[in-house]
Amino acid sequence: MFYLPSIIPAVASAMLWLWIFNPQYGLINSLLAMLGITGPGWLVDPRWSKPSFIIMGLWGVGGTMVIFLAGLQSIPDQLYEAAEIDGASWFQQFIKITLPMLSPTILFNLIMGVISMLQYFTAPYIMTRGVGSNVPPGSPLNSTLFYSLYLFQNAFAYFKMGYASAMAWIMFILIMAATLALFGSSARWVYYEGQ
């Protein structure tokens, strides 16, 4: 059930959330109206546009969750049994066993998350533009003009291919630098069982 949103195509998911966030007849504002609360203008209000994407992002954590579940299942039960015999509380077991044994999985998900967020494009393009409209992506007031969306605008709306290519190289360098920084810092906080 948690993984199901991960297999829905990105465009279909964006269209679904476009309906959910609609200020007039959207699902969230309809539920808020039943409680007597006037809902915000989710994607048309610059203050609420980014929280809308955060809420939408929380919906699609199924793939990450499956990886974390696999990581949790790889932790040997004997470690928890030994900690229980030694009198460790559940919090101590979490800090001293679960987190260190899960640290390679955390590193993997962190790197994949950084890479995907620096390339965030489909949802803002579909949801802030309006299908078939002349509204530029990134509306309202460019509050959702993410880097990749701005790169796309420069390449295919303004036809500044050289500028867009330079932006793509900068994005590549930023992603590579972030990935190398995470790998470099991993020696201090990632525990590998064989070491």
Q: Lowest mean pLDDT: which of 58-62, 92-96, 160-164?
A: 58-62
Show the beta-strand stretches assigned E in the chain. Answer: none
The DSSP element (H or E) to which 51 belongs, if any, is helix 46-59
Residue 135's pLDDT is 65
Cα–Cα distance measured from residue 102 to residue 189, given in angstroms and rounded to the nearest whole number: 11
Q: CA angle, 163 as apex, 157 and 169 as ends, to 5°?
A: 115
CA 42 from chain centre, in angstroms, equals 18
Q: Which band of pLDDT confidence, cut at 50, 70 and 90, is reported for residue 134? A: low
Residue 143's pLDDT is 87
Q: Which band of pLDDT confidence, cut at 50, 70 and 90, is reported for residue 131? A: very low
Compute the average pLDDT of residues 102-123: 95
- The per-residue pLDDT for range 12-52, each reduced to its tens digit, is 999 999 999 998 889 999 999 999 999 999 988 889 999 99
Q: Could you give the count of Cα atoms lying within 13 Å of 172 in the half-sphere of its Cβ?
A: 6
Residue 151's pLDDT is 95
Q: Which band of pLDDT confidence, cut at 50, 70 and 90, is reported for residue 78? A: very high
Residue 103's pLDDT is 96
